[in-house]
């Protein structure tokens, strides 16, 4: 099962290119780079200006999947430790 | 509820991605490489998926650093009647000994 829009909420985010599209913190909008780490509540993006940590709760992200598709994800959908996102959460969206 | 098979397939994909990243970052950022191995192992545990021996032995059991001979690991072969392959993690000092000969029956 490759990373696709269908399973991205349960798949690996590390290694994907991402851009902060919206944020409660206006300074964070536009942060762009490769996701290098993920915790329960945050995502770390590697940018030319260093590693930036953003709260999942506060942002909407544009993700570039390896197959070239681009999608907008609400960070709130990504809550949970990376290894916990693996499971369940069918919830229609 | 997703089937166990689908779950494991998904987990396996994530593990492969993370371990590949770990191997690629070991020379530039060891802490990050460790983090990726740690995450991969946690995902394996969550999905109750056993890693093949080849992968299990590539990373330090204690500190999760990718074991690269000459960089993070020392590999020694002790011959003789009960020969051993001895892998020492140069980061945390953990020593792992693997028997070289199958037990004769």
User: Where residue A28 sits, what CATH number does that domain have?
Assistant: 2.30.30.210
Q: Do B13 and A1 touch (CB under 8 A)?
A: yes
In the prediction, which pLDDT does B101 show? 76
CATH number at B94 reads 1.20.5.420
Tell me whether B10 touches chain A (CB under 8 Å).
yes
In a domain, A18, yes or no: yes
Q: Work out the pLDDT band at A91, boundaries 50, 70, 90.
A: low
Residue range of the domain that includes A29 = 8-75
Please state, in angstroms and rounded to a whole number, the distance separating the CA atoms of residues A9 and A12.
Answer: 8
Find the range with the poorest average confidence among A6-10, A39-43, B52-56, B71-75: A6-10
DSSP-assigned letters across all residues of B73-97: EEEEEE-STT-EEEEEETTT--EEE
Q: Are A85 and A12 in contact (CB under 8 A)?
A: no
Which residues in chain B land under pLDDT 70?
A: 1-2, 103-105
- Residue B104 maps to a domain: no
| pTM for this predicted structure | 0.90
Look at residue B105 and tell me if it is in a domain. no
Query: Can you give the residue range of the structural domain that contains B15?
Result: 4-99
Which chain A residues are closer than 8 Å to B42 by Cβ?
82-83
Q: How many domains does chain B have?
A: 1
The closest of A93, A5, A82 to B47, measured between CA atoms, is: A82
ipTM surpassing 0.85: yes
Indicate the number of domains in chain A: 1
Residue A92 clears pLDDT 60, i.e. is over it: no
Dihedrals φ, ψ of A61, to 5°?
A: -115, 145
């Amino acid at each position: 099962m490759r990373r696709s829009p269908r399973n991205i909420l349960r798949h690996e985010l590390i290694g994907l290119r991402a851009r902060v599209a919206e944020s409660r913190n206006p300074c964070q909008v536009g942060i762009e780079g490769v996701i290098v780490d993920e915790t329960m509540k945050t995502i770390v993006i590697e940018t030319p200006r260093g590693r930036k940590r953003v709260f999942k709760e506060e942002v909407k992200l544009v993700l570039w999947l390896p197959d070239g598709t681009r999608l907008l994800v609400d960070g709130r959908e990504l809550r949970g430790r990376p290894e916990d996102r693996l499971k369940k959460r069918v919830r229609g969206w | 509820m997703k089937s166990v098979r689908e779950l494991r397939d998904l987990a396996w994909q994530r593990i492969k991605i993370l371990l590949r990243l770990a191997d690629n970052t070991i020379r530039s950022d060891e802490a990050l490489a460790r983090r990726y191995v740690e995450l991969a192992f946690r995902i394996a545990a969550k999905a109750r998926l056993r890693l093949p021996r080849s992968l299990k032995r590539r990373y330090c059991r204690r500190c999760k650093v990718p074991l690269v001979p000459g960089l993070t690991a020392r590999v020694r072969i002790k011959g003789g009647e009960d020969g051993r392959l001895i892998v020492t993690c140069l980061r945390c000092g953990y020593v792992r000994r693997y028997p070289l000969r199958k037990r004769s029956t």
